[in-house]
Structure 1
Amino acid sequence: MSVFCIAEGILPLMVFILIQNGNAEECTKDVYNRYYSCEGRNLTYIPTSIPSSVEKLDFSFNWLPSLQKHLFPPLYDLQVLDLTRCQIQFIADDAFHNVKNVTTLILTGNPISYTSPDGLNSLHKLKRLVLADTGLLSLSVQLNNLTKLQELNVGTNMIQTIALPRFMINFKDFCVLDLHANKISSLKVDHTAVLREMKGNITLKLSSNPILHIEPGAFKDIYLKELNIQSTFVSFDAMRDGLKGLGGLHVGKLLIGLYVVDRSKVIYDANYLDGLCLINFREIYFLQKDFSDSEINVLQCMVNATKIILKRATIGSMHVSFHQLKELYIYRSRMPIVLDLSHLHTLEKLVLNDSKPVYLHGMNDMPKLQHVDLSGNQFNLVDCCSRFFTGMPNIHTLNLSFNSIIYLSNNPFAGLDSIEILDIHLTTLRSLNAQFKFFKSLKRLRYLDISHTDSTFLRTMAFRYLISLKVLKMAGNRFQGDALSYIFKNVTSLERLYLSNCGIQNIDRRAFESLSNLRHLFLSQNKLTVLDFATQSYLKSLTLLDVGMNSIFSIPLHTLKNLPTNLSNLDLSFNPIECSCSQIDFIKWLVNHQQLLRQSANISCKILSQDLNLRVIDFDIEGCVHMRRLTIALCVFAVTFLVFVSLLIYKFQFYLRYGYILLRGYRASRQQEWSYDAFVIYSSKDEAWVMDELVENLENGNPPIHLCLHVRDFEAGKAITSNIIDEGIMGSRKVIVVVSKHFIESSWCRFEFEVAQSWQVMERNANIIIIILEEVEEEKSKKVFGLHKHLKNNTYLKWSGNPINNMTFWIRLRKAVITGN
């Protein structure tokens, strides 16, 4: 191309490209060998391993300073070649000879300084050429042989005029000229001469150019498919005058406005858009990010438009009489809108989104209106909806989602029988008719979304009138009792049902018996623990079942085997799956049916697993096989152990009987009151001391302490062990143990002491009082189980022959018996 200047250093670069080996990673390909990606591989050559059948080659972000004739191997099937940012500076003649069938060539971001006259002209079939950000100075490029060119993208360059070379008049299929973000500041009559003669259905993109002036008549009698002049004018004054300079233009779609907010610029001229009245357009997209203190006359020059899209516009009220408007879109209006759209007989589609506040007045008598979207406006609609849509019998889509509250009348959709799509999700729904009979007029309804509408469904056939319903979304609502068993009785055409996040714990087997055509069932984010309902024969058409994020930890094998045969997508992700060898059959099923499982990577072990990131499909099944073998071995060991234990029971049956009596006594003590203050454990050989000293001082003292002695208080004819438990241990608040040499040698004393210790452990009370009647050697005290340890860890009383010391002894003993439980 002659428009590129010759730069110094070309020869060294050519030498470099010839000697460079280009050690780089291999390119990646798709499964059909039709697409290869070599993006960012540090390549300095085109790999010969790329097959000649390749149709698309992404070679962007590599190093090709010079494109020579034999750089490309023969790739005659190649259609798309992407050479973005390959540091290309030089393009030789016939550089693309071996890829001459390319239809799309992308050279974005290359610092091209010179192109030979026939550098690109071998691309006779080229339809799309992208030369964005290449430093291009003008449109006078050597493209005269590219007669099939349809799109030329020269955005983000240094071009200062839109003047096209005259040879482009012969480009019969040319339809897109992208000149965005260049340096074009002036548009004159002679600049558009070629464009006027082409008389094609051309899209011209001039966005983000610093236009100061458009000469009147520059676009007179020119026909464009689309003109984009967004963020084009340097000021509001330039925009006002520039729109007037576009007078006489015929354009299908006009895009104007600003991309970026400039808070320092404020519109003071409410009529700065008057020049639009001189432009003949069918569709207009107006993005207004600037500011104004007052209402701007946005709509007055749009009366002949068939489609209007307004975003962030300061509209105010709408009282314009549109002549042929079919579609009206208003997004995020900056000012309160007062809608008065009555008698727009041509309007077919109305979209009003995220505009607050909106006041509806006079929306009636629009017989052709079919699509209404009033979502995201925080409406509070009272007595909805017939009175808002009077005289609109052909509405088939009504979207009232993302609003505040809608109060439905008794028959809210009277006269709106044509509605096929109704969306009210995320809008609080209130109705005088709690049984949802207000749907009875909507027999053509195919799609209904009432998700998150704060609704509660009762045991009624809530959707009995919706005989044509295919899709029902009711996530985030509530069901009273077993309402699920009734509400779908007559919805026989339903194919997709959404019941996520409804707090559902159980689903009766009858819940979906009328839904034989149901294909997709969404039950995620509930509290389900079983899937029994999914095994019913009437769900034979089910292909997708989503029960993710429930409380399912296991599924019996018989349930899995009886799932619908057509099921091809099952989502069990984020359930608390139990990963243990007891669930080996379930886990094996999951591993063997990964092609069925949706998001199998998100089915993780949540129960009995220390690793919370362990996927179920990675569970160690082989370890469970070894565990089963170990279980068999343990069973054999258990049988052997039981035989051994039986022998021990036979040998030590006395001690077991002792334990049984002790346990029986403990249970009975819960309901038995004490008969004695203390039970005395002593050897019969120490009976004289017990009777003369202990009984005398305690029972005859003040207050008297009632002692239990085996010689006088045990019941005659009753087993000694039973007397010890019933009368002694359980019938007394405290136990007094008289330790002597005779006590150590007595088996009955040792038995009574052991029982008393066991009872103390069960009752958790310090109820044993030790009296050392005479010194006992430490080794001998160990003959009595627990005695030596008790003496080391607890305070005891010691008897002496000294009368003074004995006085203290009786005071302490009496206090120990009386205090505590």
Structure 2
Amino acid sequence: MSRKDFDHTFLIIMAAFYVNGGLLPVIFFILIQNGNGEECTKIRNNPHYSCLGRNLTYIPTSIPSSVEKLDFSFNWLPSLQKHLFPPLYDLQVLDLTRCQIQFIADDAFHNVKNVTTLILTGNPISYTSPDGLNSLHKLKRLVLADTGLLSLNVQLNNLTKLQELNVGTNMIQTIALPRFMINFKDFCVLDLHANKISSLKVDHTAVLREMKGNITLKLSSNPILHIEPGAFKDIYLKELNIQSTFVSFDAMRDGLKGLGGLHVGKLLIGSYKAIRKIKIPDADYLAGLCRIHFTEIFYRQKMSSPSNGHIVHCMVNATKITLKTGYMKDMEHVPFHQLKELYIGHQYLSAIPNVSHVHSLEKLVVVDNQAPTFHGLCGMPKLQHVDLSRNHMVIRECCSEYFRNTPNVRHLNLSLNANIWFSAKPFYGLELIEELDFHHTNLDIIGQIGILHDLKYLKYLDLSYTRTTFSSYLSFIGLKSLKILKIAGNIVLRYVLSDLFENLTVLEVLDMSHCGIDQISSKAFRNLQMLSQLLLSQNKLMVLDFLTQPNLQSLTRLAVDQNSISVISLNTLQNIPVNLSVFDISSNPFSCLCTQTDFILWTVKHQKIFPQSNNILCKTQSSDSKMRVIDFDIEGCVHMRRLTIALCVFAVTFLVFVSLLIYKFQFYLCYGYILLRGYRASRQQEWSYDAFVIYSSKDEAWVMDELVENLENGNPPIHLCLHVRDFEAGKAITSNIIDEGIMGSRKVIVVVSKHFIESSWCRFEFEVAQSWQVMERNANIIIIILEEVEEEKSKKVFGLHKHLKNNTYLKWSGNPINNMTFWIRLRKAVITRN
């Protein structure tokens, strides 16, 4: 932001101070501390820009007129005037969350009149002009959550295309809509969650009744005490959410009765979360549900009552029932008329409910219970989806005996149970199964011949972590439709692996992670022409020769992380599948030697296909060393070869070259002598300072105002050595650097900036510090990047570029929030003793 713009903003803020009191000085202080006017970020090409949290007081002109989505949240726009927005006629979504908006003038959105979604969450709007929003003729979604609204009488009369109005978390006390909303023909969502609505009366719903639309009404987290009988009679809603709404169970019991006559597609009741088990003395607290006409119900309540197993007796006409998080131990026998889906989760069932009498049921999900017994399901011709996972069950003679006369089951999930033993023909009568999931359940004989061969339509099979040993190459015979196979965490015998997948010709995903595999035959995947994902993580592979086979050309993702691979051969790299877009080779002990330059160069060239390139590390003798493969100094290898040739060819000129070096670097030789003398003397010398600061005199203001202020005046205080104040007068500068600075301090702090790069004394001090580090064998150099320096310029300082690549450094951002972490890390680095 220019100085002129800043002064203008300052005057606006100071004027607002006199109007609004003490809040604005705090915000003004934050603006000053965090900077003002950072540029926005393009998230995608033109359609989406983000200006989130940039402390902007204006809309940047750099945003193109073709932008379709603009996130301007957490900025500073106290007043929306007509010309605040530049012409952005393609803008569809505008997010102004928490921009401290207090005033909206007439035609404030004139230049963004085609917006369909406007988000004003968290703005303390005190006044909106009569035509403040009415230029948004195409607006479909308006969010006014947490804006201090007291009622629904908002100036929206011209927004006839509005479909969703979110006024949650306000102070609204009634659901009475303004009469002009009867003309909103497409209106479908009214979100009033977390307001102050305590009573619902007949006259409150008059407009809602006249709209006769397929509306979703959200009243969750309101303190409702009373619902007048008839308030919702003959009202048709798509969805009604009254979760965590009633102030007591008495209010809930009476309130559900007050909803009598309501017609709703989906009804959500109960509470969002449960803190403890609640005892309800009234066994009929849900009786009011019998007066409501609904097709789907979602009920969540962690409580118990005398009739805990009878909570579904008023749900007899529902087509979908979801019961989550409760203390139900059994479920009553209810003659459901048209129930298609039943979900029971996180209860205390002693047995899986016997719903065999519900012939209309298509989907049954009973999960997260405490080892209930299962007596089976039978005579359910429409049942297609069965999920009994996470119940810790023990099942014997699975599975056909438990699913008699259920021929249309397509999905069967018995994962995360205790133990399952199979019968002789476990899937007899279940031949249409397409998805079968047993992961993390102990199985027997699943890896032997003939267990799965009847499942010719099976597409998805998960046997991960089932303690299975695949001892027969016919384990998957007959599964000609299988596309996804997961057998991670099991044992695959080496002699079986070469022929195990021979019949799986349409397989697309294969997961064999954590199977102890140390070798894969080149013909193991010979028939898997369609294989696109191969997961071999956490095995013991040393080579990837199988990748050279032409049958794997469809492979797009390969994971061989956490194996024992030290190098990938040039032949494998040259024949790798051309469609491979994700190649995870992280956490392998790669050998970084000059003899492996082909692999290293290939890795550098193809970095985009590695999802975890930072974890592709070189194996070193030190467990603490973490040099990335892509950072290996290949140029050093090239220079070494050239040097060897040069030494052989130009042996005679070598002496001349050495003489020139001695002449050219005689200063450094003298410095080395001084350094060695200082090193010997240091054996009897104790440290006088905690850290010696190397910096350019042009950066002295930052050093004194920030570094010295935060370290020396902190707790505990850190004693710094600064050349401007601590060097001994009359003593040679080089001696001061070595005696007072390097040898007299435990650590060295280097403040890198453009001025630092250009300073010959800074470069000299840094080289001395590096030499001292080598001699002391101590990692005592802490680098602070005060400002960004181009890579080529950083190479002017000997060893700096490589030090930055191989060591962690601190970066000054100027942001107070980030700099709190900066000072903590810096103080810890200085105080820590190596």
Range into which the TM-score falls when normalised by the shorter chain: 0.7 to 0.9
Change (3 A) 1:544 1:255: same
Structure 1 residue 268, shift from structure 2 partner: 1.3
The answer to whether the Cα contact below 8 Å between 1:580 and 1:608 also exists between their aligned partners in 2 is: no
Work out which of the residue numbers 137, 151, 156 in structure 1 matches 2:169: 156
Structure 1 residue 394, shift from structure 2 partner: 0.6
Work out which of the residue numbers 146, 150, 157 in structure 2 matches 1:133: 146
Structure 1 residue 597, shift from structure 2 partner: 3.3
Work out which of the residue numbers 423, 426, 429 in structure 2 matches 1:412: 426
Q: 1:366 — aligned with what?
A: 380
The percentage of counterpart residues that share the same residue type is: 68
Q: 1:333 — aligned with what?
A: 347
Q: What is the DSSP-based 3-state SS (H/G/I as helix, E as strand, rest coil) of the residue aligned with 2:321?
A: strand
Q: 1:85 — aligned with what?
A: 98
Structure 1 residue 260, shift from structure 2 partner: 3.3
Structure 1 residue 599, shift from structure 2 partner: 2.5
Work out which of the residue numbers 112, 115, 118 in structure 2 matches 1:105: 118
Amino acid at match of 2:125: I
Superposed CA deviations along residues 83-121 of structure 1, whole A, max 9, x for unmatched, are 111111111111111111111111111111111111111
Counterpart-to-counterpart distance in 1, 2:143 and 2:243: 21
Structure 1 residue 586, shift from structure 2 partner: 1.4
Work out which of the residue numbers 411, 416, 438 in structure 2 matches 1:424: 438
The answer to whether the Cα contact below 8 Å between 2:450 and 2:474 also exists between their aligned partners in 1 is: no
Amino acid at match of 1:615: R
Counterpart-to-counterpart distance in 2, 1:207 and 1:452: 41
**Unpaired runs of at least 5, structure 1:** 1-8, 639-821
Instruction: Give TM-score scaled by structure 1 length.
Output: 0.74
Q: 2:510 — aligned with what?
A: 497
Instruction: Give TM-score scaled by structure 2 length.
Output: 0.72
The answer to whether the Cα contact below 8 Å between 1:347 and 1:369 also exists between their aligned partners in 2 is: yes
Counterpart-to-counterpart distance in 2, 1:607 and 1:272: 68
Counterpart-to-counterpart distance in 1, 2:449 and 2:306: 46
Counterpart-to-counterpart distance in 2, 1:310 and 1:64: 45
Q: What is the DSSP-based 3-state SS (H/G/I as helix, E as strand, rest coil) of the residue aligned with 2:546?
A: helix
Q: CA RMSD in A?
A: 2.5
Q: What is the DSSP-based 3-state SS (H/G/I as helix, E as strand, rest coil) of the residue aligned with 1:216?
A: coil
Work out which of the residue numbers 257, 281, 286 in structure 2 matches 1:268: 281
The answer to whether the Cα contact below 8 Å between 1:579 and 1:609 also exists between their aligned partners in 2 is: no
Q: 2:481 — aligned with what?
A: 468
Structure 1 residue 313, shift from structure 2 partner: 2.7
Counterpart-to-counterpart distance in 1, 2:535 and 2:376: 40
Q: 1:356 — aligned with what?
A: 370
Q: 1:487 — aligned with what?
A: 500
Structure 1 residue 545, shift from structure 2 partner: 1.8
Q: Does 1:390 align with 2:408?
A: no
Q: Does 1:526 align with 2:515?
A: no
Superposed CA deviations along residues 37-92 of structure 1, whole A, max 9, x for unmatched, are 11111111222222211111111111111111111111111111111111111111
The answer to whether the Cα contact below 8 Å between 1:516 and 1:540 also exists between their aligned partners in 2 is: yes
Work out which of the residue numbers 32, 41, 47 in structure 1 matches 2:54: 41
Change (3 A) 1:427 1:106: same
Q: Does 1:400 align with 2:414?
A: yes
Superposed CA deviations along residues 249-274 of structure 1, whole A, max 9, x for unmatched, are 00000000012325484211121001
Amino acid at match of 2:404: T
Decide which moves more: 608-617 or 139-148: 608-617
Change (3 A) 1:482 1:148: same
Counterpart-to-counterpart distance in 1, 2:389 and 2:543: 38
The answer to whether the Cα contact below 8 Å between 2:303 and 2:327 also exists between their aligned partners in 1 is: no
Q: What is the DSSP-based 3-state SS (H/G/I as helix, E as strand, rest coil) of the residue aligned with 1:317?
A: coil
The answer to whether the Cα contact below 8 Å between 2:279 and 2:305 also exists between their aligned partners in 1 is: yes
Q: Does 1:118 align with 2:128?
A: no
Amino acid at match of 1:25: E
Q: 1:787 — aligned with what?
A: none
Q: 1:182 — aligned with what?
A: 195
Amino acid at match of 2:287: D
Counterpart-to-counterpart distance in 2, 1:570 and 1:341: 47
Counterpart-to-counterpart distance in 1, 2:435 and 2:277: 44
Counterpart-to-counterpart distance in 2, 1:631 and 1:362: 79
Work out which of the residue numbers 608, 613, 635 in structure 2 matches 1:622: 635
Structure 1 residue 609, shift from structure 2 partner: 7.3
Q: Does 1:579 align with 2:588?
A: no
Counterpart-to-counterpart distance in 1, 2:377 and 2:485: 28
The answer to whether the Cα contact below 8 Å between 1:92 and 1:119 also exists between their aligned partners in 2 is: yes
Decide which moves more: 625-634 or 223-232: 625-634
The answer to whether the Cα contact below 8 Å between 1:318 and 1:340 also exists between their aligned partners in 2 is: no
Structure 1 residue 611, shift from structure 2 partner: 6.7
Q: What is the DSSP-based 3-state SS (H/G/I as helix, E as strand, rest coil) of the residue aligned with 2:182?
A: helix
Superposed CA deviations along residues 25-46 of structure 1, whole A, max 9, x for unmatched, are 1111234122221111111122
Q: 2:179 — aligned with what?
A: 166
Q: 2:107 — aligned with what?
A: 94
Q: 1:214 — aligned with what?
A: 227
The answer to whether the Cα contact below 8 Å between 1:407 and 1:429 also exists between their aligned partners in 2 is: yes
Q: 1:289 — aligned with what?
A: 302
Structure 1 residue 595, shift from structure 2 partner: 3.1
Change (3 A) 1:583 1:607: farther
Work out which of the residue numbers 365, 375, 384 in structure 1 matches 2:389: 375
Structure 1 residue 321, shift from structure 2 partner: 1.4
Change (3 A) 1:337 1:229: farther
Superposed CA deviations along residues 319-358 of structure 1, whole A, max 9, x for unmatched, are 1111100011111013434411113211111111111232
The answer to whether the Cα contact below 8 Å between 2:512 and 2:537 also exists between their aligned partners in 1 is: yes
Counterpart-to-counterpart distance in 1, 2:119 and 2:522: 60
Amino acid at match of 1:450: L
Superposed CA deviations along residues 288-309 of structure 1, whole A, max 9, x for unmatched, are 1234466252110011000011
Work out which of the residue numbers 349, 356, 360 in structure 2 matches 1:346: 360
Superposed CA deviations along residues 375-418 of structure 1, whole A, max 9, x for unmatched, are 10001000000011111111111111111111011110000011
Counterpart-to-counterpart distance in 2, 1:193 and 1:222: 10
Counterpart-to-counterpart distance in 1, 2:575 and 2:291: 71
Structure 1 residue 369, shift from structure 2 partner: 0.7
Counterpart-to-counterpart distance in 2, 1:369 and 1:97: 56
The answer to whether the Cα contact below 8 Å between 2:491 and 2:516 also exists between their aligned partners in 1 is: yes
Counterpart-to-counterpart distance in 2, 1:493 and 1:81: 46
